[in-house]
């Protein structure tokens, strides 16, 4: 297995512009469940009931309960070694940016700076009606918006909502510049996130513990994210 870790390290050293794309599989080793693997979140909750605009408007208590639970889970946990390695690779100018579907803010917490949070962040809150910025305590306490009395929502992208333009546009620009895109811990099933990498003319490497062979990549490394990043880091 050493050779594939060494090969990825060589790709990183050779590339002048490397972009990393991460999904929920990047955070499971921090104790945050992903969505679609065996004990994923969507095996226990129906996303249509808790993560849509319709749920926000017509079943706020259900949505509030779901995101309070997810916020609670995230607050008690922290980035793992893999997040810190990616931050170190940015410091060493081995990678230029991270595009993440994750809302846990772990890349920032680990020290990564150039991060595109294309599905928003559970660290941010706002009034669902007037957009007035709010905070975690007001959301958890179901306090009404001081400006208009509206309900407070988390700053994450719900199903059926557009992705934040600045983040998405920035992510596409990054991938277009990339000589190497490394995709880590995502099932690549939710669009448009799942197609961003196809905008690169560069090489594409997929790191995941499950690979069904359907999508083609220049290199696939199957296994646990934390272990793979640790092994590759040994060659850098
Ligand atoms: N190491 C490697 N791969 C892992 C690990 C791990 N430790 N843990 C989980 N995985 C893999 C799973 O096998 C799965 O293929 O990561 C992938 C995670 O896929 P999903 O659960 O579908 O998560 P993701 O692709 O990020 O979902 C995208 O869907 O529900 C929406 O907005 C939500 O951002 C999310 C989006
Ligand atoms: Zn308001």
Query: Measuring from atom 9 of ligand 1, which residue has the nearest CA?
Result: 25
Pocket test for ligand 1, best of 187, 193, 215 (most atoms within 8 A of CB): 187
Backbone φ and ψ of 19, nearest 5°: -120, 135
* Angle formed by the axes of helices 225-233 and 81-91, nearest 10°: 40
Pocket of ligand 1 (CB under 6 A): 23-25, 28-29, 34-37, 40, 101, 119, 185-187, 189-190, 208-210, 224-225
Query: Measuring from atom 10 of ligand 1, which residue has the nearest CA?
Result: 25
In the predicted model, residues of the chain with pLDDT beneath 50 are none
Domains of the chain: 1-31+79-119+163-236 (3.40.50.1220), 33-76+122-156 (3.30.1600.10)
Residue written as token pair 């660290």: 123
Secondary structure of residue 122 in the 3-state scheme: strand
Quick one: the chain helix, strand, coil %, rounded to 5? 40, 20, 40
Query: Measuring from atom 4 of ligand 1, which residue has the nearest CA?
Result: 25
Tens-digit pLDDT profile for residues 111-166: 999 999 999 999 999 999 999 999 999 999 999 999 999 999 999 999 999 999 99
pTM of the predicted protein model: 0.97
pLDDT at position 1, please? 64
Query: Can you point out the beta strands (E) in the chain?
Result: 18-22, 97-100, 115-117, 120-127, 133-134, 152-156, 180-184, 203-208, 219-222
């Amino acid at each position: 297995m050493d050779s594939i870790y060494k090969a990825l390290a060589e790709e990183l050293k050779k590339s002048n512009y490397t972009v990393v794309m991460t999904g929920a599989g990047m955070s499971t080793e921090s104790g945050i469940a992903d969505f679609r693997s065996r004990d994923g979140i969507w095996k226990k909750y129906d996303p249509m009931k808790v993560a849509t605009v319709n749920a926000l408007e017509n079943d706020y208590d259900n949505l509030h309960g779901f995101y309070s639970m997810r916020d609670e889970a995230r607050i008690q946990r922290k980035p793992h070694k893999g997040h810190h390695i990616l931050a170190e690779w940015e410091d060493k100018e081995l990678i230029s940016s991270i595009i993440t579907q994750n809302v846990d803010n772990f890349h920032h917490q680990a020290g990564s700076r150039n991060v595109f949070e294309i599905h928003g962040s559970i660290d941010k809150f706002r009034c669902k009606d007037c957009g007035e910025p709010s905070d975690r305590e007001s959301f958890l306490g179901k306090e009404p918006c001081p400006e208009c009395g509206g309900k407070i929502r988390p700053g994450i992208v719900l199903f059926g909502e557009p992705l934040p333009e600045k983040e998405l546009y920035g992510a596409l620009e990054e991938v277009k510049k990339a000589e190497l895109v490394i995709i880590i811990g995502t099932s690549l099933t939710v669009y448009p996130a799942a197609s961003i990498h196809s905008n690169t003319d560069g090489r594409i490497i997929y790191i995941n513990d499950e690979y069904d062979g359907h999508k083609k990549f220049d290199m696939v490394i199957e296994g646990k994210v934390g272990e793979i990043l640790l092994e590759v880091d040994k060659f850098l």
